[in-house]
Amino acid sequence: MRNLIWQYHIDTKRSYDGVHRKRMAMASSETVAFYAMKYGVEYEMASHSRWWKNGYHGGPAMERFQLLDERFDVYDQILYIDTDILVSPDAPNIFDEYADATIAGLHQTHRRDITLLQEGWLRTEFPDPARYRASYVNGAILVMSRDFRQYLRGVLRVEDIQVDKGTHWDRDGINVRWPVYDQSMVSYWLAMSPFDLTSLDRAWFKGPHFYNHGGPKTDESLHRYFSRYDTLREQWIPRGYPGTTTGDPHPETAHAAEIASAAETTGTAETKELKKAPAKPTVENLSKQVRQKRLSYLGQGKFDSIYDRIEQIRSDGVAGDFTEFGVALGGSGICLARALEDGQRYFGFDVFGMIPPPSQADGQKVLNRYKTISSGESKGISGDPYYGYMDDLLEKVKGNFAEFDCPVDGRRINLVEGLFETTLPAHDDLTISLAHIDCDWYDPVKLCLEYAWGHLSPGGFIILDDYNSWPGCKKAADEFLAATPAAKLLYEKPNAVIRKPL
């Protein structure tokens, strides 16, 4: 199959965010280009507007009409992606994930479009507005098949709005026929076609696969965007280029230095100064601090995954406490505790001592690993003493929480000492919105999965840290998923995430 990734950017003259949009586009295009090369997909960044009226150039949403041109018929599928989206190196091949989709996008309700439908504007084209099947489709990420594009080209009568011998399209002309907003165009396309929308998983929009900026370009949001870009670029190019030191930009991508410095750029009066924001109580910022203090084995990608799930819980209004099964030195627990909102609690379950032994279900590799641990010769993070050898581990972890302004008070923040089979039944009244399972072996993972699922709110998440690290964890998770049809595995890397349907 021959596929294409297509982006569109034209420099805006809007003074309040033009320079930042340009930098965001350059950052996005760099990660998207790496993604295209990784999977052998063609990539094109367009910068020529087909929409023209008295000097007006259309936005990316309207420019998607370009993809209906016959020249694109050589591609089986086209991925359109906005230029404020960053791509993770861990993202799977979206063309494989949605190979059978005729049209795949992000389905979100939007009141403005519902109002248009109620006012009957679609009746100018259709006697039956019921064909407007998707109330609103966010066009930031679209996977479009050849069948979908060719069908639309046949029914949209684009030639009716062509000007300048077909080189441009008249925006006023299309608005006379179809009083749609720029962002409503994909919804309208679906109403024009007999095809059903395949909804993209949220991981392709809010992480960990793709990261969309979205919303107003405030100092804080821009700082977060470019900080994430810095992290992803290090993952895409971990050792720099031949002849350069680690992190130095290659001459052909020298614009990366400009992008990376955007967080220290002085903006216009509207944006004021875009400086590095102080640390705030979020998983994203705290994760860097706990890693610097060697309190967690988790990499930044896993922390980002946790952070994105918390964001989605907030967005969807999922109720419940945060729980963790396997606390270790408390790094990820500190991040979860600092992310609590009013009325929420954190419960961290652990033996706070030597990790219990694995079973035959974990395999010989794990049994050999445990021999090293039990012999007293295992090393901890960055060569530190292994935390399981500490006699006062619980007090050490409490001190770590206190250092990050998260006092373990037995009410809002709780550390529960003991074997899971003893402590979990004593907490049968919990309602959970997010469960982080980091207990390595088959038996405890199986037990914690069953407990967490039974107490998980609809829309809640279970995150499995060791799914890709220890075979016993993966075995327990796969058996659980096979026996629990309602449990949906959203993705496997960098950590596995299971969701209970809303």
- Read off the pLDDT of residues 223-267 as tens digits, 9 standing for 90 and up: 888 888 988 988 888 644 444 444 443 333 333 334 334 333 333
Question: Which range among 141-150, 190-199, 436-445 shows the weakest confidence by mean pLDDT?
Answer: 190-199
pLDDT band, residue 304 (cuts 50/70/90): confident
Q: What is the pLDDT of residue 268?
A: 34
Q: What is the pLDDT of residue 165?
A: 54
Rounded Cα gap, residues 476 and 361, in angstroms: 9
Question: Which range among 37-41, 113-117, 139-143, 199-203 shows the weakest confidence by mean pLDDT?
Answer: 113-117
Cis peptide, bond prior to residue 407, ω within 30 of zero: no
Question: Which range among 29-33, 313-317, 376-380 shows the weakest confidence by mean pLDDT?
Answer: 376-380
> What is the pLDDT of the chain when averaged over all its residues?
79
Q: What is the pLDDT of residue 190?
A: 72
* CA dihedral (292, 295, 297, 301) positive or negative: negative
Q: Does residue 415 or residue 213 have the better pLDDT?
A: 415
Q: What is the pLDDT of residue 427?
A: 95
- Over residues 36-52, the pLDDT tens digits come to 999 999 999 887 776 65
Q: What is the pTM of this model?
A: 0.50
Looking at residues 369-377, what average pLDDT do you find?
88
DSSP alpha helices (H): ranges in 107-209? Answer: 111-118, 146-155, 171-177, 185-192
* CA dihedral (5, 199, 212, 487) positive or negative: negative
Q: Where are the domains of the chain?
A: 3-162+178-239, 283-500
For residue 121, pLDDT over 90 is answered with no
- DSSP state letter for 278: P
Q: Is the domain defined by 3-162+178-239 classed in CATH 3.90.550.10?
A: yes
Rounded Cα gap, residues 454 and 311, in angstroms: 22
For residue 464, pLDDT over 90 is answered with yes
φ/ψ region of 346 (left if φ > 0, alpha if ψ in -120 to 50, else beta) reads beta
Q: What is the pLDDT of residue 52?
A: 53
* Helices and strands, counts by H and E, the chain: 17, 19
For residue 117, pLDDT over 70 is answered with no
pLDDT band, residue 431 (cuts 50/70/90): very high
For residue 53, pLDDT over 70 is answered with no
Residue 14: partners with Cβ closer than 8 Å, 6 or more residues away: none
β-sheet bridge partners, residue 414: 347
For residue 276, pLDDT over 70 is answered with no
Rounded Cα gap, residues 161 and 385, in angstroms: 71
Q: What is the pLDDT of residue 136?
A: 57
CB count within 10 Å of CB 190 equals 22
Looking at residues 65-89, what average pLDDT do you find?
90
Contacts 24+ apart (CB under 8 A), 188-193: 189/103, 189/152, 190/103, 190/132, 190/133, 190/134, 190/137, 191/122, 191/125, 191/126, 191/131, 191/132, 191/133, 192/125, 192/152, 192/155, 192/156, 193/103, 193/148, 193/151, 193/152, 193/155
Rounded Cα gap, residues 140 and 138, in angstroms: 6
Query: 283-500: same fold as 3-162+178-239?
Result: no
At residue 412, what are phi and psi to the nearest 5 degrees? -80, -40
What superfamily in CATH does domain 283-500 come from? Vaccinia Virus protein VP39 (3.40.50.150)
Rounded Cα gap, residues 163 and 178, in angstroms: 17
Q: Does residue 326 or residue 298 have the better pLDDT?
A: 326
